[in-house]
């Protein structure tokens, strides 16, 4: 595979993957540009037919196999997006595909993988455990293993994203790329440096799964003891060893992002761009505010958009709370007629919208002394929240902020 990750191979892969990809034109983000002081463009790979960029590497890798290797059957391990990429590519080649997925994989990714005709085996809590199982099955049945990231051919296919970025925005100065195991970052950074050695390519990892950052610090591939992040597509303990030298040579820096930042970024995408982007795909959006540059042309790669509705609902709720758009206060007041109406009047006077109200008469054994009400309200943001709390205090109440639960 030493001939992979060359300019000729990238050009070949760019033509081949056009058979299974949709055009994902850059989207200029006025909102994120104003927020960061840079010219921010989004590369919406969440709009691919399979919902993620992974079909690029899977299809190109399978195209390099012999017919005998394909007919033995293909197998891989994935948290979802590579699974769909392999399943779809295998179907196009008429090959059988078996996919091992962690038991924590969102249902939408499992069902979509099955919809392409693949057999799905659920095993382990994280990708690394699923991968070990996939290797066992490959050995047992003679399947051809398609690694999700630690394969130069797969990385070459992923790097076709950089070719498209340069075709649209030749003067791009920064590219932000998500990192799980490192295949996407390898392909994008290697091709980007071949096309323009002065460009900066920044990898972005979840703070709770920063295996590549730790590996670069020590100068060799390391395995994290555990991973903990809502970005399931990048929840990887060990980065790829075959592609690690390319990362060392071509990646300029790594930014880590906390889960709460991803939650807020999800709201930004939905409200300002009307796009659903999964948590791993949001890494590069959340990382924009960590860049210490201004007036640069920056491309954030949105790697995927496969998010199940239950996760989406949870993220939206948490995001509204983090943005002070929803909050809950606890107030104690005498249990007598008119008190609840008086509190409601104060809340209404400052245009707060009551979402939920709990009235607890048993907070005290002396109901005449105090009862508790908990009011969950919708606000316009932090300043409006402060105004509402201030109005309650001016009315003689002592509102205490508590964890909002819808």
Return the active site residues: 54, 303
> Residue with structure tokens 């009047």?
345
Tokens of 274: 């009307």
Rounded CA gap, 280 and 230, in Å? 8
Rounded CA gap, 95 and 268, in Å? 40
Strand 200-206 versus strand 174-178 pairing type: parallel
Rounded CA gap, 371 and 282, in Å? 44
* DSSP H stretches of helix in 180-255: 183-195, 211-218, 244-250
Q: Residue 307's closest CA among 23, 52, 33?
A: 52
Check residue 368 and give left, alpha or beta (phi > 0: left; psi -120 to 50: alpha).
alpha
**CB-based contact 170:144 (threshold 8 Å):** no
Q: Residue 280's closest CA among 310, 263, 304, 260?
A: 304
H or E element: which one contains 342? helix 339-349
- In the beta sheet, which residues pair with residue 402? 328
Strand ranges across the sheet with 400-402: 353-360, 371-378, 326-333, 400-402
Read out DSSP for 124-146? Answer: -SSHHHHHHHHHHHHHHHTPEE-
**CB-based contact 100:87 (threshold 8 Å):** no
């Amino acid at each position: 595979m030493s001939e992979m990750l060359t300019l000729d191979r990238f050009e070949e892969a760019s033509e081949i993957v056009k058979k299974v990809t949709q055009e994902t034109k850059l989207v200029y983000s006025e909102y994120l540009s104003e927020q960061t002081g840079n010219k921010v463009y989004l590369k919406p790979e969440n709009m691919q037919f399979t919902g993620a960029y992974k079909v690029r590497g899977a299809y190109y890798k399978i195209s390099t196999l012999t017919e005998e290797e394909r007919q033995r059957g293909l197998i891989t391990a994935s948290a979802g997006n590579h699974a769909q990429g392999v399943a779809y590519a295998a179907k196009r080649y008429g090959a059988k595909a078996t996919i091992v997925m962690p038991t924590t994989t969102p249902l939408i990714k499992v069902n979509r993988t099955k919809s392409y005709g693949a057999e799905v085996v659920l095993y382990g809590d994280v990708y690394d455990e699923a991968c070990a199982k996939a290797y066992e099955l490959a050995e047992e049945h003679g399947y051809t293993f398609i690694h999700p990231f630690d394969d130069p051919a797969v990385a070459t296919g992923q790097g076709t994203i950089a070719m498209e970025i340069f075709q649209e925005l030749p003067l791009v100065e920064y590219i932000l790329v998500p990192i799980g195991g490192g295949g996407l970052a390898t392909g994008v950074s290697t091709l980007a440096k071949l096309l323009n050695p002065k460009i900066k390519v920044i990898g972005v990892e979840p703070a709770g799964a920063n295996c590549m950052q730790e590996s670069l610090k020590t100068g060799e591939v390391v395995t994290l003891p555990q991973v903990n992040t809502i970005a399931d597509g990048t929840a990887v303990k060990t980065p790829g060893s075959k592609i690690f030298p390319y990362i060392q040579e071509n990646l300029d820096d790594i930014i880590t992002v906390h889960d709460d930042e991803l939650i807020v970024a999800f709201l930004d995408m939905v409200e300002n761009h009307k796009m659903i982007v999964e948590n791993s795909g949001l890494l590069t959006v959340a990382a924009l505010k960590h860049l210490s540059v201004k007036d640069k042309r920056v491309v954030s790669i949105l790697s995927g958009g496969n998010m199940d509705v239950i996760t989406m609902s949870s993220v939206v709720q948490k995001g509204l709370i983090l943005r002070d758009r929803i909050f809950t206060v606890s107030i104690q007041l005498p249990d007598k007629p008119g008190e609840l109406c008086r509190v409601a009047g104060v809340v209404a006077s400052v245009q707060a919208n009551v979402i939920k109200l709990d009235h607890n008469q048993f907070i005290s054994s002396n109901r005449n002394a105090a009862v508790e009400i908990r009011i969950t309200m919708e606000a316009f943001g932090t300043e409006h929240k402060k105004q509402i709390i201030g109005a309650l205090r001016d009315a003689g109440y002592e509102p205490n902020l508590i964890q909002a639960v819808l």
